[in-house]
Amino acid sequence: MKIAVIGTGYVGLVTAACFANLGHAVIGVDKDEEKIERLNRGEVTIYEVGLPELLLRNLGRNLNFTTNTDNAVRVSEIVFITVGTPQGEEGEADMSYVVEAASEIAASIKGYKIIVNKSTMPVGSTRLVERVIKEKAGGEEFDVVSNPEFLREGTAVRDFMNPDRIVVGTESQKAAGIMSELYRSLKAPLFITDAASAEMIKYASNAFLATKVSFINAIANICEATGADVKEVALGMGYDHRIGFEFLRSGPGFGGSCFPKDCQALIEIARGSGYHFYLLEGVMQVNREQMELTAGKVERRLGELSGKAVAVWGLAFKANTDDVRDSPAVEIVRLLLDGGAKVRVYDPQAMENARTLLPEGVEYARDPLHTVTDADLLLILTDWDEFKMQDFRKVGELMKSREVLDARNCLEPLSIRRLGFNYEGIGR
Report the CATH number at residue 369.
3.40.50.720
160/155 Cα distance (integer angstroms): 9
Residue 393 falls inside a structural domain: yes
| C-beta separation of 404 from 411 below 8 A | yes
User: Can you tell me whether residue 354 is helix, strand or coil?
Assistant: helix
Closest CA to 286 of 260, 265, 311, 307: 260
More confidently predicted of 20 and 93: 20
Q: Which residues touch 24 (CB under 8 Å, ≥6 apart)?
A: 1, 2, 3, 62, 182
> How many other β-carbons are positioned within 10 Å of the β-carbon of residue 141?
10
Residue 198 falls inside a structural domain: no
Residues 162 and 230 in one domain: no
| C-beta separation of 67 from 30 below 8 A | yes
322/341 Cα distance (integer angstroms): 25
Residue 349 falls inside a structural domain: yes
Residues 405 and 299 in one domain: yes
Q: What is the DSSP letter of 400?
A: S
| C-beta separation of 336 from 305 below 8 A | yes
Residue 200 falls inside a structural domain: no
39/27 Cα distance (integer angstroms): 11
Beta-strand relationship, 363-364 and 342-346: parallel
At 254-282, the pLDDT tens digits run: 999 889 999 999 999 999 999 999 999 99
| C-beta separation of 317 from 256 below 8 A | yes
Among the ranges given (252-261, 311-320, 393-402), the one the predictor scored with the smallest mean pLDDT: 252-261
pLDDT of residue 171: 95
Residue 96 falls inside a structural domain: yes
| C-beta separation of 423 from 413 below 8 A | yes
Residues 170 and 241 in one domain: no
pLDDT of residue 334: 97
Residue 346 falls inside a structural domain: yes
Determine which one of 18, 223, 258, 263 is catalytic.
258
Please give the model's pTM, rounded to 2 decimal places.
Answer: 0.90
Residues 176 and 219 in one domain: no
Residues 60 and 149 in one domain: yes
Residues 293 and 383 in one domain: yes
Residues 221 and 109 in one domain: no
At 116-144, the pLDDT tens digits run: 999 999 999 999 999 999 998 878 899 99
258 is catalytic: yes
- Its domain, for residue 416, covers 209-424
Residues 235 and 357 in one domain: yes
Task: Over range 299-311, report the average pLDDT.
Answer: 96
Residues 271 and 183 in one domain: no
To the nearest 10°, the Cα dihedral for 262, 12, 181, 40?
Answer: -170
Beta strands in 87-200 (DSSP E): 113-117, 142-146, 166-169, 190-193
- How many structural domains does the chain have? 2
Residues 181 and 313 in one domain: no
